[in-house]
Structure 1
C-alpha cells in the first residue's frame, strides 16, 4: 500500500507580506469550480486560518451542492493564517488579534519572549488595503456580500474591526469573543464606534453553553475544575456577548444583531458549529 499526501479539492494558499513590513501571512483560499454569478461571489474572510479553514471548507462543500435543502450557495473563502503546520501561531495571533493599546505579558513558557498585543489595527489595514484588493484580482467578488469571522481572540478582533470600519463587511461573525479582555476595554471601542454609512450590517455573536457559569460535565472531573470555574465566572463569555447583542440590536447607527448559544459546546468544541453558522450567514441563498 502506497500512502500519498491529501489536499482539499479546489483549495490553494499563498503567502502575502504586509507592505509595512513584517512576516507574511498565509492565505488559505477556496474558489468554487462553477462560473461566478454576474455580480461576483460572496466572500468569507476568517482569522486563525490554519485552524478554521478546514471546518469552513467541509461545511461549504457539503451544503452548497444542495441549496434548496440547505439554504447555502457557493462562495469564496479566504482564511488568514501563518506559514506553519500548527493550528495556531500563539505569538503572532496575540499581536494580530489583540486590540490596542500595545501591551506586554509574561512569556507563554519560561524563558520565552514576552507576549505582545495591540496589532489589530495593522491587521485590519492589511485586510482592507492588501488582502481584499489582491483577492479581487484573482476572483470575481461581490463587494456588498463580504463577511468576517473570528473565534475567541479572533472574535474580539472582529468586534474591533466592526467598530473601526463597519462598512468593510456586511456580516460580522464573532464566536466566543473575549470581551472581558483587559477589563472589557473593547467596550470603549463600542462606545466610540463609527456609524454605518451604507446599508445595515449584521453582527452575529455566539458562545458555547459551557462558556457560561457552568463547566462541561467532564470538566468537573479535572484536577483544575475549581480554578477553571472561577475563571469562567470572571470571563462571562456568554453573558457579555448576550449583553452586547441586546445593547446594539436596532441601534440608530445601522447595526443589527443576533445572539446564539450552541448547546453542549465548550470554548474549543464550539469552533465547528460556529464556523458552520458562519458559512450559513456568509453564503445564505437569496430569499432563503
Structure 2
C-alpha cells in the first residue's frame, strides 16, 4: 500500500462545470482571478442564453457558492433560474493578502474609516491574518478605496469577455456580495449600472451614520432618480442584530439605519426587499445569505427541475 502522493489540486475535484482565468484590468489597474461556472444543463440546452451573477471575494465564493449553485439549480422544492456564476478574486501575491486587497475594490470612494481601525492592524498581524506589509497595505486601501474602478472593470471589461465566450442574455444580470462585498453591492445598486439589476447585499458593512451609502441614497432621493427595473435584496444575520459587540456596531446598526431610511424615504422605482437570516453569525452567514439571494432575485419555475415529481 502506497502512502499519500501529493498532487496539484485539480479544479474539477471541487468545482464541476468551472473554468479558471486571470485577467488584467486597465480600469482598476490590477490583475484578477476569475472563475466561471455554468449550470449543469448548459451543454444540453444549446440554444438557451443565461443570466450572469457576478460575485466578488471569489477566492472564497467560488469553492463555496459554485457547488451550492449547482444544487439549487435542480432543487425541486425552491428552484432557481439557471445562471452563469462569475466569481472575481485575486491571484499571485494578492491571493495571500485578500483581506488587504479587497478593501481597495469593495469600499466606495470616500468611505469613512471605522473607529479604531488603525489600532486593529496590530491585532490582525498578531493573529497571523496578514504580515506587517499586508497590514500596511490594508490600511492604505481603507484610506483610499476605489469601488468605482472595480465596478467599471466588471461592467466595461469583464462582461464583454464573458459574453464573447458564453451564451449570455443582453441584460438584467445579478450581483451578490457579502460583508464588504455586501457594501460594494449596495454601492453598485446606487450607481445604477444598466447591466446589473438584481443585486444582493449580504450583511453589508454599512457604517452607521457615516457611510457614503447614505450620501448616495439621499442624493438620488433629492434628484428624484428613477431606479425602475432594479432590485436590491438586503440580508442581515440574526446575531449581528442581537448580540452586543463588534458586528452589532459594524453591521447591524448600519443595516438598520439603511432599512429605516429606505422604508421612510423610498427611491423611485427601486424594489427593496430584506430578510433576517436566523441563528447565523457573520462568520457563518455567507452561504445562507447567498441561497436566500438566489431564491429571492432569481426564482425558478416550479416543476422545471428534473428532480420534480
Alignment CA distance shift 1:150-1:175 (3 Å): same
SS of equivalent residue, structure 1 residue 89: helix
Deviation string 1:2-26 (CA, Å, 9 cap, x unpaired) is 6653432111111111124633110
Q: Which of 77, 92, 115 in structure 1 is aligned with 2:85?
A: 77
TM-score, length-scaled by structure 1: 0.82
The residue that corresponds to 2:31 in the other structure is 24
The answer for the alignment partner of 2:51 in structure 1 is: 42
- The structure where helix makes up a greater share of residues is 2
Take 1:36 and 1:9, find their aligned partners in 2: how far apart are those partners?
17
Alpha-carbon distance in 1 for matches of 2:216, 2:200: 17
> Relative to structure 2, which stretch is displaced further, 129-138 or 104-113?
104-113
1:218 aligned residue: none
What is the match of residue 60 of structure 1? Answer: 69
Root-mean-square deviation (Å): 2.9
Q: Distance in 1 between matches of 2:68 and 2:85?
A: 11
> In 2, Cα distance between the equivalents of 1:18 and 1:280?
32
Cα 1:98–1:188 change in 2 (3 A) is same
Specify whether residues 243 and 212 from structure 1 end up closer, same or farther in structure 2 by C-alpha distance, changes over 3 A only: same
Q: How does 1:253-268 map to 2 (within 5 A)?
A: 253-268=268-283
Matches of 2:59 and 2:219, distance apart in 1: 32
Q: Distance in 1 between matches of 2:156 and 2:238?
A: 37
Structure 1 residue 55: Cα displacement:
2.2
The counterpart of 2:21, out of the listed 14, 20, 23, is 14
In structure 2, distance between residues paired with 1:49 and 1:233: 26
Is this contact kept in 2: 1:27–1:49, CA < 8 A? Answer: yes
Q: Secondary structure at the match of 1:285?
A: coil
Gaps of 5+ in 2: 126-130, 304-309
Q: Which runs of 4+ in 1 moved over 6 A?
A: 102-105
**3-state SS of paired residue (2:243):** coil
* Distance across 2 between alignment mates of 1:270 and 1:233: 14
**Against the structure 1 CA distance between its residues 161 and 252, is the aligned structure 2 distance closer, same or farther, given a 3 Å change threshold?**
closer
Name the counterpart of 1:224.
none
Distance 1:233 1:208 in 2: 10
Matched, 1:126 2:153: yes
Given the alignment, which residue of 144, 164, 167 partners 2:171?
A: 144
Q: Please, what TM-score do these two structures have when normalized by structure 2? A: 0.77
